[in-house]
Structure 1
Amino acid sequence: MFAQIFIVFALANTIRSIPKKTCNRLLINNTWYDREIILSNFGRPYNLNIHKSSNILFFSYSLHDNLADVDFQMAFINLNTKEHDVVAGIRGGCTVAIDQSNDVIYFGGSDGIYKYNMLTRLADDYKEKGKNIWSLYFRENLFYISYPDQKLYIDIDGKFVKVREFENFEVDSFHVMPNHDIYFANKSGFYLFDSSKLLVETINELIGVRQIVEDNNGLLYVCTNVGIIMHSGDEFVNVIDIKGIYGLAFDKENSFILSDEKNILRLTPSSKGCAYDDFYW
């Protein structure tokens, strides 16, 4: 049985758009941020995930070559040096999960799960050969979402099994909190699985969720089709009220890393602001 949670958005003056030509900054919760494009001309970068010890951002992006037999490709950029390249060895690479404690990087594609070798920069076959992987996630265990049935699996003792609590749900996005509560989303909305009550609660049935992440301080952010919301207290509030954001991550310094239609951007705190009539995206 679903219990309704009402989502409360902040007032319009909490967030402004990215500045016009005269100003290249963004206001988030009363703090100004400089906007820096760190990578351009990649089609809709999705599933941003940062290996914190190296500050390397991994992501997937859309391919527009009609002759290609796959739709997605994995790539990386070193946020310190700006070196970037594609990740070889993954067919239809579309998702990444990182075990930060053990420096293990997993990729998912149309032919299973892979492990990334940081030295050779190649991805090697790992598990679920022949399975089409929609999304990967790591918190204590490795999870994956299968495609096209959108079912959730967990690796237990070296073998993937369906997560029993989600057998009756399709899952597109998934995030486990430290207390084992689980946020997830599908085409019908955004939900919370309360691990203590074993109940699913509806958060919002109007937004489309693109990514669910925590920053380095454990604050939960959700990238949606209408902007970015943050969990604050018992509610979610708007922090970036802009359409066209496809991915979100936080780098080693806890700076916002965002992606739009063609670019990956970094937002860093600024001591300078802008006039409210000088905004653009």
Structure 2
Amino acid sequence: MIYIIIINLLIVFLEAKLVIYLTDGPIEKIGPRLYKKELLTNEYKDPIELAYDSATRNLFFMYMDDELLNSGRAYINIITKESKKIKGIKRNKATAIDSETGQIYFGSNDGLYVYDPLTNSAENIGLYNVDVFKIVIRDNQMYIIDGNNHMIYKVFGKKVSKLGNAKTVINFDIDGERNVHFVTMCGVFCALNGNEIVKNKDINIAYNFIIDNNKTYAITDEGILEINCYNGTAYKVADLNFHPRSIIFGDYGDIFYSSDDNIYRLKPITSYVLYNLSRKQRNKT
């Protein structure tokens, strides 16, 4: 079946010509790039907190589990689309993958968990008095948000040390230069090397941060904005025609995102058939 999608992201007027893209499936356009849109699963309720493991090609995520009556953890293989629920953890809140070791970590209100692929279960390894609300691993260092006070901490084994004094932190990430990007009830900020704090003048709220090639992007109501940590500014690099609950980069330019009860994969389209219709030709049709 060939889809002819006639919506504004796929039909572009350029110099009085109508450009129509034809593909063998639904597509998305982000900035100048086209992506093939593939549904990975719709079997889980409200998936969020996506984390991708390049070694196994598994995409981990949190979802609302009717049996647990709380949040659970699962993964789906992006090649086979086989998915499994992960045992041993309830009230799951956070996930992160250490790209250096391949270790997969989960956070809950009773501490930090590590994933065992042999038993497909998560084991609590400490930080029992910490409500691990968010995990970020950068350059072999682990950072978390403690949901008890919504402040950022650096993890040292089974101990934590406060990173800065920012309060009411609801999301954060750390770029390749160790600048800490975070969102509070008061706005979007960047702590230069974890120290001097700069408030962003152009963004009031960021739903997600994406770190890619030492650049930091914020997902906002306006679309995707690239952040300049040093002068507290941001500028739009692309519109988004969907509203992701969670969004991350994968391998080879892939993008994974969740929306409602669905998890999608966006795969870059490197070649396509392009038809150009002049105004005169359009008037004849």
TM-score normalised per structure 2: 0.78
Q: Distance in 1 between matches of 2:194 and 2:174?
A: 13
Match of 2:176 in 1: 178
The question of whether the paired residues in 1 share the 8 Å contact of 2:175 and 2:215 is answered with no
Q: Does the C-alpha gap of structure 1 residues 59 and 224 become closer, same or farther in structure 2, counting only changes over 3 Å?
A: farther
Q: Cα 1:274–1:106, aligned 2, differ >3 Å: closer, same or farther? A: farther
Q: Which amino acid aligns with 1:245?
A: P
**Structure 1 counterpart of 2:124:** 125
User: Which residue does the alignment assign to 1:75?
Assistant: 74
Equivalent position to 2:47, from 45, 59, 64: 45
Contact kept? 1:193, 1:200, Cα under 8 Å: yes
Give distance in 2, aligned partners of 1:244 and 1:85.
Answer: 26
What count of residue pairs does the alignment treat as equivalent?
254
Q: Determine helix, strand or coil for the equivalent of 1:253.
A: helix
- Partner in structure 2 of residue 59 of structure 1: 61
Change (3 A) 1:101 1:147: same
Pick the structure with greater CA Rg. Answer: 2
Q: Does 1:221 align with 2:217?
A: yes
What is the root-mean-square deviation of aligned Cα atoms in Å?
2.9
Give the C-alpha shift of residue 174 in structure 1.
1.3
Query: What is the Cα deviation at residue 157 of structure 1?
Result: 5.2
Shift of 1:230: 3.6
Partner of 2:159: 159
Task: Specify the alignment match of 2:272 in structure 1.
Answer: 272
- Bigger mean CA offset, 188-197 vs 118-127: 188-197
Query: For structure 2, which runs of at least 5 residues remain unmatched after alignment?
Result: 1-7, 12-22, 276-285
TM score, norm. by length of structure 1: 0.79
1:4 corresponding residue in structure 2:
none
Query: Aligned partners of 1:87 and 1:110: how far apart in 2?
Result: 17
Q: How far apart, CA to CA, are the structure 2 residues paired with 1:273 and 1:185? A: 42
- Shift in alpha-carbon separation, 1:142–1:196, aligned structure 2, 3 A: closer
**1:76 and 1:226, CA in 2 relative to 1: closer, same or farther beyond 3 A?**
farther
2: CA distance, partners of 1:51 / 1:225: 28
Matched-pair identity in %: 23
CA 1:185 to 1:168, structure 2 compared with 1: closer, same or farther past 3 Å?
A: closer
Distance 1:142 1:194 in 2: 18
Partner of 1:278: none
Judge which range, 91-100 or 127-136, deviates more: 127-136
C-alpha distance in 2, partners of 1:116/1:203? 40
Q: Tell me how far apart the structure 2 counterparts of residues 258 and 35 of structure 1 sit (CA, whole Å).
A: 10
4+ residue segments displaced more than 6 Å: none
Deviations 1:202-241 (A, max 9, x none): 244533x3321223x4443323355433448973314243
| Aligned-partner residue type, residue 228 of structure 1 | I
Alpha-carbon displacement from aligned partner over 1:153-200 (angstroms, at most 9, x marks no partner): 11135421221x2x2422111111121111111233221112287233
SS at match of 1:94: strand
Alpha carbons of structure 1 residues 235 and 126: separation in structure 2 relative to 1, 3 Å? same
1:101 aligns with 2:100: yes
> What's the CA shift string for 1:223-268, capped at 9, x where partnerless?
3355433448973314243353111112222301111111111111
Of 209, 212, 219, 2:209 maps to 212
Q: Distance in 1 between matches of 2:179 and 2:247?
A: 21
